[in-house]
Structure 1
């Protein structure tokens, strides 16, 4: 029954997807065309605030620097070189010569300054991440940036897609941002799709594709069906249950790669029950990571020990977590709870928890359901609440206890991004409301430390503090799954950062 219901929902999603992917006249695109289906929809292409990072992923915009995913080092992109001094408080950034925006306007120091200043003005998270005090254009192609503090990792933060460089003077950032990427926007249907055409004046090697349809569908089954029917060439995160059938189809290739992502259980530490560390540890003990990895992701995941996978050079040596309902009951007893009439209670009040989840990542609602079932066995009622945009909801509302959430923990190739965003009081993703002076002190020290070994030591200290005080729980490290028609698609690369998707190298046969 569950499978039939999912197929029905998927077919509905496929009908909507076909409407998004097909021209009104139903005609074929001229030249080399590729249709890509992504799992998160967006109603705005403003790169400074779009949390889906679609402008960068679609090849519309670029950042000053980019991440080399093999070496986890920062490389030039729109910036040609940079130099820091005064312990990373002052930076000189040389811009790449000969780059124009897609409207023909030159990308020079004044334009980049305006773009960065707009990003700082419109995005508080970027203000906190970049720690910029001032930006000056010292000549046509040189920027002088002064930070509010010593910040040796400043350049790595410029990888952030929200700091994509756009022509501010062009306006209409929501519907048609003007960037420097290999593709230009032909049309945008909010929540549905982008139609892209090659930027003939691109500063680097011209794109091999003539056009791209970048469409959205949050239903994983519909994405898989679109590939099977030939209405999509590449689908991001197909339904896990469809992988076997997709792999059995001639010409379909499924790629699975480890990523920097962790599925976590975010805990709202401002809620009364969760202010007790023993309750938080009980929640952690109820997470059956092996079952979730095997039954929800069908083995395309590894049980998580902490925020950073072992493959990262700065991942700590995590201690083994004991789990199970008996251990959860022990922690709850320490917190003053007892099981009475099948309900876990304290002072006559049952322990009930509200858990948020969202369907754009199909595995998160399933993780929530497994936790709900396991919590019920120890007398805890968990109410599941579906939301649409988790970042917006969790930032604006505190009427929840737990949330299934997915986070890229090292998209800049360093531990600093995640630790600052998630556990610093000023962090953009600090949805737990953590304000731990000792932890903040470690993160602040990390921010001004240059030595790689010392940074790794501080990252481990921060991760250990999070573990000891159970500020959030870490469930699994999911693999990134992409499926595509290999008889047609050439040069697709499944990246660990999930940033670089529609590139000038991507091609069709």
Structure 2
């Protein structure tokens, strides 16, 4: 009997040992997988690279553009195009890189690139206005592109993620665009994640990772917790308040990198109150930039005096402005507003603002709340409205006055992108409705100006004019914050342009 029990005991022990070994083996196998999970702050319901404003296809390594931005020296360099030239700034000759294939194995040649660019311009008015292409001719791996007018900075526009090259014959752009990048789409769950697999025939060498997941969560606290729990390996823009805890965790590395982004207060110039420059000046004076940078961003930001970082050659030395409650009240006095029974009003009508904000950038709703509180002390009623996709809402609706908005201003080291997009009547990001003849004329002049020094001087003049007219208010330049498991992740680079994330060099240890 004792011997029988002993045999049963040994059998059970062997079972548990085998189970334990099997579990450890599974863990070892999982640890050995060459894959990462990057958690991003913007969700998307579409991977269409030509219209998606979250630029997920480019960031996830699915697609590429003809021209690449060098993050270190802010110069443009070849990518899918290996060279380009123009004698007059209007007729451009591009030579495409040889041996590049789409993720379906088909060649990326001039004909395919022509079809992709034409499709992008057809489906995106913003890209059509930005590129200003009159015609495209393809011959083998050569492209001849004619712009509508002389456009010396045309190649830099081909850095934009919405100009990504795809095989347009594969028409499921939303769920599975076929690009030339190191990763192909395995599965897309709108609003949740895109699963990626290595494209073995990638032209610049197959990715070191076998698989990757580019997932979404607009809650900054949830992103931080995902890294702490091991559910994510790389987290883009973790919650600022969590940085100290993350830095204290073994193996976690936090990077805070200056970027080309500005948090701004976009003003709807079609609203009657904001057509008065004194009201715009009052809004600007109410923004306590230093306090916001320290309390909300915990110092991971530079106070903004204009749209461009102070280190850029085209950032003017702005004159000192009056700011604070008293300055704002004085500007409103000049606009004819008086505080009666605690309410700021003019001709018996109270001054009220509808302020849009969105949670995917966690600091923007907090900035909106600070502004609401400060405006309330002056008797201005500010109603905050949460929206999801700011570009879509502001472009389609005019029932708002102000928006806390974040924008890349010089992602190519040149002021032309932001000034055209934000202040030209045809600009893709001209949500304020700016339509100023002098301003438009200056931007048109910038577009045909050659030479960095000449362009910087003219861009500085434009930026100064924007400041004088108070077309939008600029709050701060936030750093890009990324936290990742440095014990696992290898070769991660925090891109200043925020364009390039999952690359063929990204690896695990």
TM range (shorter): over 0.9
Deviations, residues 59-84 of structure 1 (Å, cap 9, x unaligned): 00000010011111110000010001
Gap regions ≥5 residues in structure 2: 1-25
Paired residue secondary structure (1:168):
coil
Unaligned runs of 5+ in 1: 1-24
Name the counterpart of 1:16. Answer: none
Deviations 1:359-412, CA, capped at 9 Å, x for gaps: 000000000000000001111110000000100000010001000000000112
Q: 1:414 to 1:378 in 2, by over 3 A?
A: same
Whether 1:501 and 2:508 are equivalent positions in the alignment is no
Structure 1 residue 134, shift from structure 2 partner: 0.2
Residue-by-residue CA offset, 1:245-281 (whole Å, 9 max, x unaligned) = 1111111100000000000000001001000000000
Which of 62, 66, 69 is the matching residue for 2:68? Answer: 66
Determine the C-alpha separation between the residues in 2 that align with 1:104 and 1:322.
Answer: 61
- Measured in 2, the distance between the counterparts of 1:285 and 1:315 equals 20
Counterpart in the other structure of 1:85: 87
Partner of 1:20: none
Q: Which moved more, 1:236-245 or 1:205-214?
A: 205-214
* TM-score, L = length of structure 1: 0.94
Match of 1:48 in 2: 50
Counterpart for residue 57 of structure 1: 59
SS in 1 for 2:104: coil
Q: Which residue of 1 aligns with 2:399?
A: 399
Rounded to whole Å, the distance in 2 between the matches of 1:147 and 1:501 is: 31
Matched, 1:324 2:327: no
Q: Deviations 1:196-248 (Å, cap 9, x if unpaired)?
A: 11110000022111110110000000000000001110000000000011111
Q: Report whether the alignment pairs 1:122 with 2:149.
A: no
Counterparts of 1:246 and 1:321, CA distance in 2: 38
- Matched length: 483
SS in 2 for 1:246: helix
2:141 is the counterpart of 1:141: yes
Structure 1 stretches of at least 4 aligned residues deviating more than 3 Å after TM superposition:
25-30
Any idea what the Cα deviations from partners look like across 1:83-111, whole Å, max 9, x if unmatched? 0122x111000000000000000000000
Deviations 1:125-175 (A, max 9, x none): 0011000000001x2100000000010000000000000000011111111
Task: State the secondary structure of the residue aligned to 1:450.
Answer: coil
| In 2: Cα distance, 1:202 partner to 1:483 partner | 28
Q: Residue 367 of structure 1: SS of its match in structure 2?
A: helix
Q: Distance in 2 between matches of 1:319 and 1:70?
A: 31
Q: Distance in 2 between matches of 1:85 and 1:271?
A: 45
Shift of 1:452: 1.0
Structure-to-structure mapping, 1:231-242, within 5 angstroms: 231-242=231-242
Give the match's secondary structure for 1:307.
coil
Alignment of 1:468-507 (within 5 A): 468-507=468-507
SS of equivalent to 1:459: helix
**Is the CA contact (8 Å cut-off) linking 1:209 and 1:507 kept in structure 2?**
yes
Partner of 1:279: 279
2:456 maps to: 456
Q: How does 1:153-172 map to 2 (within 5 A)?
A: 153-172=153-172
Residue in structure 2 matched with residue 376 of structure 1 by the alignment: 376
Structure 2 match to 1:8: none
Deviation at 1:29, TM superposition (A): 8.2
Secondary structure of 2:466's aligned partner: helix
Q: 1:33 aligns with which of 10, 32, 35?
A: 35
Aligned to 1:265: 265
What does residue 254 of structure 1 align with?
254
Question: Counterpart of 2:418?
Answer: 418
Larger Rg: 2
1:307-350 deviation line (CA, Å, top 9, x unaligned): 00012232222222321000001100000001111111100111
Distance 2:454 2:197 in 1: 46
